[in-house]
Amino acid sequence: MSSDTRDSDKLNVGIYLFNRAKRRARLMTGRRIAREIHDQKRKNPLYFVYILLCDDGSYYTGYTSNLPSRFHRHTKGCGARYTKMRRPRKIVYEQRFTTRSAAMRRERQIKLLSHDEKHDLAESSKSRTARHQRKGPLRDT
């Protein structure tokens, strides 16, 4: 083998290793960014307790860290077995918590309520939301 061939082989191997190192660095940077985003979400998570009104008029209570995604899964029939049978219509109540344990505790409290008490809770939540969404000045009558 001539020295020119060996030099070009060394050059090709060097370029290959350099490109491989660049790809690995990019991959590691992407992983690091993903890890930082994940860690940031873990530092400031939000947990939701929600009540769904189902087609048959019953209520389903649950908790999650991603309410829109969880509702979508319920509507597709991939959520809980209960909502697979009684398709959810809408979210009638939601409450936010900063810790998972607090959300689970509140979910347990709500699950112990009767149907009428859950209905009252949903109605009070609706009126509170409507108050915040009002536009214009309040009038005294």
Q: Give the pTM.
A: 0.62
21 shares its domain with 54: no
Determine the longest span between alpha carbons in the chain, in angstroms.
102
Residue at 138 is within a domain: no
Strands 59-64 and 47-54, sheet pairing: antiparallel
69 shares its domain with 126: yes
117 shares its domain with 67: yes
Total count of domains within the chain: 2
Q: Structural domain of residue 110, as residue ranges?
A: 47-132
pLDDT tops 50 at residue 100: yes
Interval 71-93: pLDDT, tens:
999 999 888 889 989 999 999 99
58 shares its domain with 112: yes
Residue at 42 is within a domain: no
Cα–Cα distances in Å, from 126 out to 67, 121, 122? 17, 9, 6
Beta bridge partners of 52: 60, 91
51 shares its domain with 71: yes
Residue at 141 is within a domain: no
